[in-house]
């Protein structure tokens, strides 16, 4: 390595797969004008090696030149460097353990030096998260084990994640993806917590949920691209309500149901009826999946 690069800010970003982390990262990145490094889905604790997936705020020819020149990203000065972890419960028991492992070793050779580090985690509601995971796993044939076992594991990952998000002593900056999509005041509060200068307040205020999702469509995009043309981000689960596996593995999970109600203010019954914390008896008519 010819030189050690420097980043003004290093952000470790954690999320369950299909919970909106790429959209959130792109939204955060829009607040910066300098070079941004993005390392997607780092796989080990502590980091052993990884490759910078791509750079932001630079033209494609320059990006290719930088990627060909070095492997890790540690040689290049950046304003921000994002490193994302997904589904960490395959590797560690908690976010606390993940952070401890990251901080237990000197990562200068991999990420360079930095002025300060932020640890960020996001959570999306259980029903839309699982609907998106199930839809994607089927379209990509991406499961490495039997579908029923895979969804059982996903449920437990989400439950563990939800419990960590409710820890008032957490040292992570937690982002509620659903609220971020819907509430411009919440987005303002996140900017303050993350130390971001708002660069486009009028545009952020005027965006609908669908427009925000389309504008910040990082990662692999939506599992419901056609469906989202007529439905909001928070209603994707509607398409899965008649799905036998979704009903058996998702709608039947009582622990996830209770946690979803506490965190997001609404949940679903075994039959797919949506009800809120203010309507805890679930007397609304069931929401039907589109035909």
Res. 227 pLDDT band, cuts 50 70 90: very low
Parse the chain into domains and list their residue ranges: 6-125+159-221
Mean pLDDT of the 148-159 span: 78
pLDDT above 80 for 69: no
56-60, 70-74, 113-117, 286-290, range with the lowest pLDDT: 286-290
The count of other CB atoms within 10 Å of the CB of residue 45 is 18
Pairwise CA distance, residues 68 & 121, whole Å: 31
Across the chain, mean pLDDT equals: 79
pLDDT of residue 248: 93
Pairing of strands 36-39, 54-56: antiparallel
Q: Which of 56-65, 107-116, 141-150 has the highest mean pLDDT?
A: 107-116
Res. 224 pLDDT band, cuts 50 70 90: very low
Pairwise CA distance, residues 230 & 291, whole Å: 13
pLDDT tens-digit series, residues 190-204: 999 999 987 554 344
Asked if 29 and 136 count as a contact pair (C-beta separation under 8 A), the reply is: no
The residue ranking higher by pLDDT, 273 or 209, is: 273
Q: Which of 49, 58, 132 minimizes the C-alpha distance to 83?
A: 49
pLDDT of residue 208: 45
pLDDT above 50 for 284: no
| DSSP string over the chain | -----EEEEEEEEEE-TTSSHHHHHHHHHTT--S-EEEE-----SS-------EEESS-HHHHHHHHHH-SSSTTS-EEEEEEEEE-GGGT-S-HHHHHHHHHTS--HHHH-EEEEEEEEEEE--HHHHHHHHHHHHHHHT--SS-HHHHHHHHHHHHHHHHHHHT-TT--SEEEEHHHHHH-HHHHHHHHHHHT---S-HHHHHH--HHHHHHHT--TT--TTTTGGGTS-GGGGGGGGTT-HHHIIIIIT-HHHHHHHHHHHSEEE-TT--EEEGGGTT--SPPPPPP-
Pairwise CA distance, residues 285 & 282, whole Å: 8
pLDDT above 70 for 264: yes
pTM of the model: 0.82
pLDDT above 70 for 50: no
């Amino acid at each position: 390595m010819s030189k050690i690069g420097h980043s003004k800010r290093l952000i470790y970003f954690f999320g369950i797969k299909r919970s909106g982390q790429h959209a959130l990262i792109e939204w955060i990145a829009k607040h910066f004008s300098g070079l941004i490094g993005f390392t997607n889905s780092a796989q080990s604790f502590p980091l052993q090696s990884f490759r910078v997936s791509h750079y932001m705020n630079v033209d494609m020819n320059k990006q290719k030149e930088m990627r060909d020149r070095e492997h890790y990203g540690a040689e290049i000065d950046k304003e921000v460097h994002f490193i994302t972890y997904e589904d960490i419960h395959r590797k560690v028991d908690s976010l606390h353990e993940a952070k401890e492992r990251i901080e237990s070793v000197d990562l200068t050779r991999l990420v360079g030096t930095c002025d300060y580090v932020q640890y960020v985690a996001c959570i999306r509601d259980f029903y839309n998260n699982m609907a998106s995971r199930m839809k994607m796993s089927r379209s990509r044939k991406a499961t490495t084990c039997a579908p029923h076992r895979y969804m059982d594991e996903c449920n437990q990952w989400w439950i563990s994640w939800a419990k960590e998000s409710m820890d008032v002593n957490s040292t992570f900056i937690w982002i509620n993806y659903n609220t971020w999509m819907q509430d411009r005041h919440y987005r303002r509060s996140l900017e303050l917590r993350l130390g971001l200068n708002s660069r486009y307040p009028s545009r952020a205020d005027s965006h609908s949920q669908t427009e925000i999702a389309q504008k910040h469509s990082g990662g692999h995009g939506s599992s419901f691209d056609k469906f989202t043309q007529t439905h909001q981000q928070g209603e994707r689960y509607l398409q899965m309500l008649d799905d036998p596996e979704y009903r058996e593995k998702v709608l039947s999970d009582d622990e996830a149901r209770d946690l979803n109600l506490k965190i997001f203010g609404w949940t679903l019954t075994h039959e797919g009826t949506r009800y809120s914390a203010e309507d805890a008896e679930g007397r609304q008519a069931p929401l039907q999946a589109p035909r």
